[in-house]
Amino acid sequence: MPSSPVPLPALGLIGFGAFGRLVAQHLASLFSLRVHDPFAPDSAFAAAGIERCDLDVAAACPVVILATPVSTLASVVRDIAPHLSPGALVLDVGSVKVRPAEIMRAGLPAGIDIVATHPLFGPQSAREGLRGLKIAVCPVRGGRARRVGAFLRHALGLTVILTTPEAHDREAAAVQGLTHLIAKVLVAMEPLPTRMTTRSFDLVMQAVGMVRHDAPEVYHAIERENPFAAEVRRRFFDLAAQMDGELGESAGFEGKTRLRA
């Protein structure tokens, strides 16, 4: 008599927006997914071949991923806390890490392991697969962060960066903060040239294209929830103003020189 297949471990996914759907796409073959999102359309679940479940069902899984905006994380943590199983592992996938780590540490029951993660990619940059893409993994509570990193490396082919929430946000304030800020400015300047362009300009616009359709909540988290973003923006604008002033002085000097000639 043939043996029955070993059932896949259950994983609760809270949030089925663009990134939640990306998570489901790559984990569906490795876990039995329990997905909860009261706001995602039925068509999104149907397209993924996944049934919507209640919050308590998703939260009771041994591993729970919170794929919700940082702005709603505190309320989600409050709602799932009574339903978590003892010894469960909870992870988030937000763009910032200091504030989510604080929220999860304060709001989740003792005995729940917590790992804060930030996939350094989105649906656009993951269109050709995950292999080689980067993910930050931050231990918050418990000792499972390295095991999580090993799983992400071996099962999904991701490049894992083990760091702290503070170190993550310090670097992300420049890496993501400046990227999204510059993209916002360039989008506001459109229409921009598309015919007579240089390779460097094309690469800049390619980078803009990778973030232009990100949800507003992503931009808000990157610029408002990161405690180091304001300092980076201030330095960027100060240097831009300084360069603008130098260019203005240079133009005035050149004009005077031509008049004398």
DSSP state of 52: B
Q: Please give the pLDDT value at position 258.
A: 57
pLDDT digits (tens, 9 = 90+) for 167-197: 999 999 999 999 999 999 999 999 999 999 9
- Alpha-carbon torsion 131, 162, 10, 50, what sign? negative
185 has which bridge partners? none
Q: What is the pLDDT of residue 10?
A: 98
Q: Do the Cβ atoms of 161 and 155 come closer than 8 Å?
A: no
Tokens describing residue 234? 């201030």
* H or E element that contains 133: none
In sequence order, the 6+-apart residues with CB closer than 8 A to the CB of 166 are: 97, 98
DSSP string covering 136-184 = EEEEEESS-HHHHHHHHHHHH--EEEE--HHHHHHHHHHHHHHHHHHHH
Alpha carbon separation from 77 to 63, 111, 116, 188, 231 (Å, rounded):
14, 15, 13, 36, 29
Reference 60, options 37, 81, 31; nearest CA is 81
pLDDT lower than 70: segments of the chain: 1-4, 250-261
Per-residue pLDDT, 124: 86
What is the C-alpha separation between 23 and 50, in angstroms, rounded?
Answer: 12
Strands 159-162, 32-36: pairing is: unpaired
pLDDT computed for residue 165 by the predictor: 98
Q: Which residues contact 16 (CB under 8 A, 6 or more apart)?
A: 24, 35, 36, 37, 40, 44, 45, 50, 52, 67
Digit-coded pLDDT (tens) for 124-178: 889 999 999 999 999 999 999 999 999 999 999 999 999 999 999 999 999 999 9
Beta strands in 38-112 (DSSP E): 63-66, 89-92
Query: What is the pLDDT at residue 45?
Result: 97
- At the top level of CATH, the class of 10-163 is alpha beta
Phi, psi of 207, rounded to the nearest 5 degrees: -65, -40
Domain borders along the chain are 10-163, 169-251
| 73-80 vs 98-107: helix crossing angle, rounded to 10 | 20
226: nearest Cα among 186, 185, 167: 167
> For 163-246, where are the E strands, in sequence order?
none
Residue type, 78: R
